[in-house]
Structures are given as C-alpha cells and as structure tokens.
Structure 1
Amino acid sequence: MLDACRVDTVKSSTDWPPAVSVVNEAGGSDVVLICEHASNHLPAEYGRLGVSEADLQRHIAWDIGAAEVTLGLSRALDAPAFLGTYSRLLVDLNRPFGVPSSMPARSEATDIPGNRELCPAERERRRRLMFQPFHDRIASFLDARAETERPTRIVTIHSYTPVFLGERRPWHAGILFERSEAFARQVIEGLAEDRSLLIGTNVPYGIDRAEDYAIPVHGTDRGHPAILVEIRHDLIADERGVAEWTERLRAVLA
C-alpha cells in the first residue's frame, strides 16, 4: 500500500501532465465544452490505487467515450473544450471538493484501497495539483469571455453504465440541468426526433449542488445556460458510435 501522506517529488511531464487539456480555446461557437472524466490516467507513484488494470478501463476510473465525443464536438462546432487529464479515482472534478464521493474509498461495488483514510496533506495535494488548476483554468476563460460580452452556453459531456448495481438503465442518453430548462428541452426534443432513441430528463442522475460542480458553479452561478449530457457508454465505445453521437449533438447544439 502507498503512503497516503507522501511528499511531493520531481514529476515528469508525461506522468504528471497539466490538470486540464484545452482544445480550440479561440473557437467561435457560443458553446463551451467541459469533460471532467476524460482520462483514466494515474501517476505511477499511486500504484493504481490498489485496483486492477481491468478496473482502470471501467466506468469507475473515467467516462468511456466521453473524451472522443467532446473532441469531435469541438471540431464540429468550432467550440472551446476543457478536458480533465487524471482519473476520477484520484479526485472527481465534478464533485464539490472534499465530499465523500470526490475521492471515494468505494466506487460502485469496487473498493479503492488507495483512497482509504487519506490524510489532510494528501487531500490537499490532490486539490492543489488536479482539482483547483482544472477549475481555475475554466473560470479564467469564462471571466475573459464575459469581459467581451460573448454569449456562452456550457455543455458538459459524460457517459454512464448500462447497468448500475444490478439495475438496468433503459435510456440511450439523459440531459441534466439545474435551472436551464429551456436549453435542456431544446436539446431533448431535438434528440427525440429520432424515434429510435429514448432520451431522459435528469436521468440517470439529477443535478445536486451537494454532488455536482460544473453546472452549478460555472453555469448557474455565472448566469450561463448549462446542461450535462449523459450518454450510455456502450453506445460510444467505438469510432462509429462516437461519430453518430457527435453528429446528433452537433445538430441540436449548432
């Protein structure tokens, strides 16, 4: 087991990339894309946090297909995009920092030994190196955009498991919102024009300030229309699925 109170050491740029990957920052779209769970990367010193390599390919470590859809939409819409570069197991960028689910000792039905009994110094390390730089970068971008009075719609891209703790989820996608109901309805109704799709409202989760971060903080609190897009990850697990959902979302967001 790793020392949960390790001290900082010299870090390589490949093992410790910047906390956020920014794509097409000067894009002309009013849509700003955020993908918090884009990566399953863990620096080597964390030793996979005690889980298996197979576990790192599961939803507990990242949102399968979400990064590819985000990058596709960035190109298709000419939209800026902000993608997380570390696994959600280290710190979940879409949780208020410090809540139990932000550094879970158990995710779904899987124990995460490397997150047990984290000392304050290790929690602070993850905040300083991963959580804060990601959100500070987005906040500074939105500040600069507001100064030029550019309109902004925030769209965060996520994926979810077809089955969660034995319960099957029937939707192909869900559109989640806090206060931006008009924006959400526009996207839901646009996607639902394809009668083969079951599109849910605030499923498989709802937006809750106690458990969500980007939509309340970067969207609602700044007065920007903001939605969270959840796509069932078996539908975007390959290039064909990514292309299909990128085009669907492009059509309703353009």
Structure 2
Amino acid sequence: MSSSPPALRILAPDEPPAFEVVNPQGRSSAVLLCDHASNAVPRRLAELGAQKEALCQHTGWDIGAARLSRRLAALLDAALVLSGYSRLVIDCNRPLGSPTSIPEISCGVPIPGNAIDAAEAAARADACFWPYHRAIDALLDERRDRRKSTAILSVHSFTPSMPGQDRPWHAAILYGRDRRLAAPFLEAMRREPGLCVGDNEPYRVTEGGDYGIPVHGEARGLPCVLLEIRQDGLLSDDGVEAWAQRLAAIYREIEPGLFPGAGGA
C-alpha cells in the first residue's frame, strides 16, 4: 500500500496495477524484466500535459518490448515482470532523483506535467516504481530460498534514429561490471550473418544511469544482461517471433555454461 497522503495518491482503485508478474514458477533459470513495457498514464496525471505522440513513440515506452518479453518468457518457460506505466510517469530503470527519473524534457519534447515537487515525485515512486521493484525482489528472494539458479535478462527496445544519428545496430548487448551473460550473448549474436550488434552501444549500463541490472543483478551476484532490440524489428508479429526465437535459442545454448551441473534447477 502506498505511504503517500491520500491527496497525493497517483493510482485510483480501478486503475491497472503498477506491475504484472507472468509465470512466476517458470522452470527456466532466466528471469525476464521489462522496465518500459507500457505507455499508460494514471488518470490523475492527465497524460502529463504532453503531446500524445510523446506517449506513443519511444519517449513513452519501449515499443515492442512487452510483446517480445511475453513471447520469450513463453518459449523459455521463464518468469517475467513487466512495469505497468509509462517511463514518463517515472522511469523504472533509473535511480530515483536522477535527471531522467521524471524528465521535464525527453528527447527534446517538453513534458509539462513533470515539473513537480519532491512530494509528488515520492508519490509517483510509491505508486509505480517501488511496487514494480518489490515484485522483482519478492520473485528473486523466493528463487534464492529454493536455491534456484537465476540469471536476469532485462528486455528493452531502442528507436532506429535520433536527431542527427541513424543507428546501424539491429540489437545491442548492454552490461556493467558483470559480463558472464553479456559476453556469450554478444559472441552468439555476432555469429549471425548480416546482424549488426552493439557492444554497450548505443547505451551502456551504469550505476548512476540504470537501476535494474545494478540492483537486481549485480548487487545479488546474478548473471545479468540488458538486451536492446531496434524497434523497427518488433513492429510485426513475424518480427517479434523471429527475435524471440533467436534470443531463446541463444539463451538455451549458453545456459549450461552459466550454471555447470545445475541443469537450470
């Protein structure tokens, strides 16, 4: 339950929850996270006063990431946790208080509803950020208690171009200190003819700029990787299926090396 005063509570009782857990008892060692799964905005926030395009485009969510995550979870029989609200409400993959946690400008687009005080920011965290991450913590704690081998795959998508920059990568493998999962993923994907794969580009994982991998992966000592797929590859059912099949096959290939003798148990 939110600790915010009633006047500052963000979500109405009839609105969707801040997270969704899919297949929590999945047999795979993989646990999938989708930090930017939705572009929904609580009614109280009146679409943040932003142009509708800001919510529908990459500024509002990771286009195709939720569909890809769900399909990949089904193929692997993996647990999946998805965020329930737009990254413009509060970004679930940014440390609280960072400049991009509740951005007033996103990719040059003003977000008037994000000019807020500390109390409002805390209310958004209570409503959308902490419930999502507590759900992840609860899932990981339960797996730890069962001595279940676990690796974190955080699924994202990125826009094909930014102002003045076309992005040649079809996908990117992002990581911080832990490369146990990133290195074999990168090697496997780069074996595919015609596939351009970024190595910590167009983004990289940092403790100051990311939350999920540093907190749920590295701090727990779990193999972890952030997978970025270019959004134009996820616009069709066929594209989503192709990427899900590719990523599932790669994970199955490298899983035995992550947990020798464990069989993913």
TM-score of the two chains, using structure 1 as the length reference: 0.94
Match of 2:18 in 1: 19
**Distance change >3 Å, CA 45–CA 193, structure 1 → 2:** same
Superposed, 1:76-225 pairs within 5 Å as 76-116=75-115, 118-225=116-223
For each residue in 1:95-153, what CA deviation from the matched residue of structure 2 results, as whole angstroms up to 9, or x when unmatched? 0011110000000110101001x112211110111111110111111111111111110
Displacement of 1:8 after TM fit?
Answer: 3.1
- Checking the alignment, whether the CA contact within 8 Å between 1:157 and 1:228 is kept in structure 2 is yes
- Checking the alignment, whether the CA contact within 8 Å between 1:6 and 1:122 is kept in structure 2 is no
Q: RMSD in angstroms over aligned alpha carbons?
A: 1.4
**Distance change >3 Å, CA 52–CA 226, structure 1 → 2:** same
For each residue in 1:203-227, what CA deviation from the matched residue of structure 2 results, as whole angstroms up to 9, or x when unmatched? 1111110010010000000000000
Partner SS, residue 122 of structure 1: helix
- Checking the alignment, whether the CA contact within 8 Å between 1:33 and 1:79 is kept in structure 2 is yes
Partner SS, residue 61 of structure 2: coil
**Distance change >3 Å, CA 9–CA 196, structure 1 → 2:** closer
Match of 1:67 in 2: 66
Match of 1:40 in 2: 39
Q: Give the aligned length.
A: 247
Q: Distance in 2 between matches of 1:10 and 1:110?
A: 25
- Checking the alignment, whether the CA contact within 8 Å between 2:10 and 2:127 is kept in structure 1 is no
- Checking the alignment, whether the CA contact within 8 Å between 2:40 and 2:86 is kept in structure 1 is yes
Q: Distance in 1 between matches of 2:11 and 2:69?
A: 32
What 5-or-longer segments of structure 2 have no aligned partner?
1-5, 253-265
Q: Larger deviation: 85-94 or 197-206?
A: 197-206
Letter in 1 for 2:169: W
Letter in 1 for 2:8: V
Q: Distance in 1 between matches of 2:180 and 2:122?
A: 38
For each residue in 1:164-223, what CA deviation from the matched residue of structure 2 results, as whole angstroms up to 9, or x when unmatched? 232111110000111232321211121222111001111111111001001000000000
Q: Distance in 2 between matches of 1:9 and 1:183?
A: 37
Q: Distance in 2 between matches of 1:201 and 1:155?
A: 16
Match of 1:55 in 2: 54
